[in-house]
Amino acid sequence: MSEWPEDVDPAVVDTLFELLSDRYRRWICLYLQSSDRAVVTYDRLLDELSPRAGEPVDRDRLRVRLRHVHLPKLAEIGVVAHDERRHAVRVADPSLLECCVAVQNVVEDCESTER
């Protein structure tokens, strides 16, 4: 077993796992990392997220959850900045977003090797 790197704060790792525990927040991170848009509207995010659920999604309910749950959680740790007035979001810290996606990829790799 490898040792914990000294320069990584375990609280940050805990926060990332908490943040990525929700599939919609994971999908938001993946979309923002792959998008070439500097600013993404809530409607655009809804267009991207709704089909990923694999089941019918109540767009109004998802919009409320984006605005009041998912985007504030991503903003709280500095991954995104969201403008509620404009109904838009942008990446606030590209390196932190990259870290979120990397953690997500490692977890997915581990899950696929367990099967």
User: Domain containing 45 — which CATH number?
Assistant: 1.10.10
Residues of the domain holding 83: 10-114
Is the pLDDT assigned to residue 1 strictly greater than 50? no
Q: What percent helix, strand, coil does the chain show, rounded to 5?
A: 65, 10, 30
* Span 67-90, pLDDT tens digits: 999 999 999 999 999 999 999 999
pLDDT at residue number 22: 93
- Assess if residue 100 is contained within a domain: yes
104 within a domain of the structure (yes/no) = yes
> Is there a domain that residue 16 lies in?
yes
Mean residue pLDDT across the chain: 87
Q: Which residues contact 107 (CB under 8 A, 6 or more apart)?
A: 20
Alpha helices, DSSP H, located in 20-92 = 23-34, 42-52, 59-65, 71-76
pLDDT higher at 85 or 53? 85
Residue 2, domain member (yes or no): no
Does 3 reside within a domain? no
Look up tokens 């019918």; give the residue: 56
What mean pLDDT comes out for the span 32-36?
94
- Residue 110 inside a domain? The answer is yes
Report the domain count for the chain: 1
